[in-house]
Amino acid sequence: MQYSHSDDELWDEHQWDAHISEVEKKSDQLRKFITTDPRGGSTPRWITLLEESISEDDAFEAYVEEELLLDEAYFPDEEDWEDEDEFDEDEFPFNALEEYDEEAEMGYDEGEEWKALSEDFAYSNYGSLDNLRIYSRSKNLAIDILRWALLIDGKHQIAEIDDFVEETLKIGAKLAGGYSFGFDHEYMGANIAYTKRSLYYANCGLNRLGQLKGKDLFKKSQYLAFHERFHELRNDIGVYVQELRDRFHHG
């Protein structure tokens, strides 16, 4: 998507951080309303999504889509944004769910659609989120955590497991949120702000994994494998944040 933005100010990651935080507060309230367990219980959202999906892969995709929709509800449509005479600090343009159909959105020449299939263009508006390696790895990790959580005996189910699954799912969801803004200098700050949230949840997941270590929920080899994957993913997201910052500062 292409959006209009304030002509006299280029937002950095800190300005986007503040405003996205406000959006997330509103979307959290909306989430509580629309994801309430219809059975009147307290079934975790990840379990409901698994029940409604064919596979763990589908459940992850459904979670990411839901997260992006909830945030998008508090961003105006592109047409509404462009029709405004003045910049409204409480709202900004965002359409996270639109995939990068570059022929339609970017208007590039016919025959260049191959770029969306190439990892070489993952860090560009011509690329595809699926070719962003840290996103693919966050997705695969989330799917494996979902499978692990499903196998835990009911008597061992504790709230920390639900938090652990939720935090792991959010790693990929926040990466997707950042990627949806693209790599134009004008919106790089938003990409960074969302990606920093992904880094935050990667750290949360790693810490939560340590908290669960002594509760007999993992085999030793399984725990070590998860720890290594979380640790490497966390570090690589941190590197990605710095790469985005470098691109922003170098224009």
pTM for this one?
A: 0.79
Q: Is residue 163 assigned to a domain?
A: yes
Domain that holds residue 236: 13-29+42-76+126-249
Q: Is residue 245 assigned to a domain?
A: yes
Nearest to 116 by CA among 69, 194, 58, 182: 182
Q: Report the pLDDT value the prediction gives residue 97, as an integer from 0 to 100.
A: 40
The CA distance from 99 to 128, in Å, is 8
C-alpha distances out from residue 236 to 59, 65, 91, 198, Å: 24, 23, 31, 11
Number of domains in the chain: 1
C-alpha distances out from residue 217 to 119, 149, 167, Å: 37, 9, 17
Residue 215 belongs to domain with CATH number: 1.20.1440.60
pLDDT tens track, the chain, 251 positions:
333 344 457 888 999 999 888 888 887 777 776 665 554 557 788 899 999 999 999 999 999 999 988 877 665 554 444 444 443 444 434 444 444 444 444 444 445 554 555 555 677 777 789 999 999 999 999 999 999 999 998 777 788 999 999 999 999 999 999 999 999 989 999 999 999 999 999 999 999 999 999 898 999 999 999 999 999 999 999 999 999 999 998 87
